[in-house]
Amino acid sequence: MKSANTRAMVALVIGAVLTLAAFIGTFFWAAVPDYGTVSQPKYSFSARHPEAIDERLAHDYIGNRVGYEVEVVTDEGTVTGTLVAAEPKEGSGDGADAVMLATVATASGEQTIEVTKDDEVTAQIYNYGKPDWGQKIFYFHVPIAEISFIVFAVAAYFSVRFIMTRKREYDTKSRIAMELTMTFVALTMATGILWTKAAWGVWWQWEPRLTTYFIMTLLVVAYFVLRNSVEDEERRALYAAAFSILAFIDAPISFFITRLIPSTHPVIESGGLQPPMLITFIIAQIGMLFVGYAIYRLRMGEMELRDRIERAKTELEG
């Protein structure tokens, strides 16, 4: 009993320290992503809807604009299209006679052009005008959202255990995991809504990830509605267990939907984060995991205390 609470407190402290570390890392270590210039308008509803501007590229900078719409003006003429590749021409030297080989996909097929220092290359870029501070919420929103899926899975797991064994403790565990799901889902929704306003310019959009997550929120609410409307204790536990298993079917759908169908909700691509960003993100993730575990333990301790009081009461009365 005592050790369980100690463990919870230790977990809470570790979680708090890690979260604080992640907070510091977020603002003093991880770079603010430079959305000063990006190739395409990322989100169709952006508040800072970018204006297309032409960027004159330095000769050795062409390789950094692969994938952009470019216009290459050489002595032989003008070529416009998407830049596919750009590499220095072998043996061309790196002085005044340096030559880049730029491959451009045009309407009539790919074309490789020799670009010298005197040639003019412009890329079409979009100017957001200021650094993307809204991205900072990523270090909290994403870990919280992931934890919400994890605790939902834990709740479903304990529900299965309850149905198999009919032991009351599993019902309590499942219920507490569901309470945690509710907390983390609410936090995810709050941080997410702040971010969509900053990045997309709207508070809400019926977009696959947001929709399925909203449905998940409703399912978690429904779980508690169901619990509160059943009188009989054993029946309540069984119904709640069955419903949480059914409801959990939505979680994987919500989790994977951004990778299955076109969605404006961003996903983390492997290798997409610079080390300071990635490490801060991982610290935040572990910190949240500890906080979640600590809350779970503390609530379990509370339930055990309640049980003891109930038992003491019956003994005194008897």
Partner 1 sequence: MASASGRQFRAILRKDIVMELRTKEMLMSMGLYALLTMVVYFVALSQAGSEFDPRTIAAGLLWLAFIFTSLLGLNRSLVHEKDQGCLEALLLSPVDRPVIFFAKVVGNLTFLLIVEALTIPVFAFLFLQGHALESGAFSLVPLVMVAGSIGISGIGTLLATMSVNTSGKDFVLAMLFIPLVYPLLLGAVTATNAAIVGGPDAMMVFWQGMAWVAGYDVVMLLASYGLYEFIVGA
Q: Outline where the chain has alpha helix (H).
A: 2-28, 138-165, 168-199, 208-228, 233-248, 250-260, 275-317
Binding window for partner 1 (CB under 8 A); candidates: 59-67, 228-236, 278-286, 294-302: 228-236
Choose, by CB under 8 A, the member of 47, 186, 245, 282 that binds partner 1: 245
For the CB of residue 58, give the shortest distance to partner 1 in the complex, in Å: 45
For the CB of residue 226, give the shortest distance to partner 1 in the complex, in Å: 6
β-pairing, 77-88 vs 69-74, is antiparallel
Choose, by CB under 8 A, the member of 113, 163, 198, 303 that binds partner 1: 163
Structure tokens at 265: 């909700």
- Residues in the interface with partner 1 (CB under 8 A) total 25
What 3-state class would DSSP assign to 87?
strand
Q: Note whether 167 binds partner 1 by CB under 8 A.
A: no
Site for partner 1, residues 168 to 187, rule: CB under 8 A: none
The contacts found for 223-227 with CB under 8 angstroms, 24 or more apart, are 223/178, 223/247, 224/178, 224/182, 227/175
With a CB cutoff of 8 Å and minimum separation 6, the contacts of 120 are 56, 72, 73
Measured from the CB atom, the residue of 234 and 307 that comes closer to partner 1 is 234
Q: Note whether 250 binds partner 1 by CB under 8 A.
A: yes
Site for partner 1, residues 282 to 301, rule: CB under 8 A: none
Q: Note whether 233 binds partner 1 by CB under 8 A.
A: no
Q: Note whether 252 binds partner 1 by CB under 8 A.
A: no
For the CB of residue 222, give the shortest distance to partner 1 in the complex, in Å: 5
The label of the residue with tokens 């977990």 reads 11
* Residues 43, 61: Cα–Cα separation, whole Å: 26
Binding window for partner 1 (CB under 8 A); candidates: 4-12, 221-229, 294-302, 309-317: 221-229
> Looking at residue 48, what DSSP letter applies?
T
Structure tokens at 174: 């499942």
For the CB of residue 68, give the shortest distance to partner 1 in the complex, in Å: 30
Q: Note whether 234 binds partner 1 by CB under 8 A.
A: yes
* Residues 208, 257: Cα–Cα separation, whole Å: 7
Measured from the CB atom, the residue of 70 and 240 that comes closer to partner 1 is 240
Measured from the CB atom, the residue of 3 and 228 that comes closer to partner 1 is 228
Q: Note whether 219 binds partner 1 by CB under 8 A.
A: yes
Residue 271 Ramachandran class (φ > 0 left, ψ -120 to 50 alpha, else beta): left
With a CB cutoff of 8 Å and minimum separation 6, the contacts of 307 are none
Q: Note whether 242 binds partner 1 by CB under 8 A.
A: yes
Measured from the CB atom, the residue of 23 and 204 that comes closer to partner 1 is 204
CB contact at 8 A, 122 and 79: no
Q: Note whether 215 binds partner 1 by CB under 8 A.
A: yes
Q: Note whether 206 binds partner 1 by CB under 8 A.
A: no
* Residues 128, 114: Cα–Cα separation, whole Å: 32
For the CB of residue 287, give the shortest distance to partner 1 in the complex, in Å: 31
The label of the residue with tokens 């990830």 reads 209
Measured from the CB atom, the residue of 47 and 226 that comes closer to partner 1 is 226
For the CB of residue 230, give the shortest distance to partner 1 in the complex, in Å: 5
What 3-state class would DSSP assign to 269?
coil
Q: Note whether 231 binds partner 1 by CB under 8 A.
A: yes
**Nearest CA among 181, 178, 179, 159 for reference residue 170:** 159
Q: Which residues bind partner 1 (CB under 8 A)?
A: 163, 215, 218-219, 221-222, 225-226, 229-232, 234-235, 238-239, 241-243, 245-247, 249-250, 253
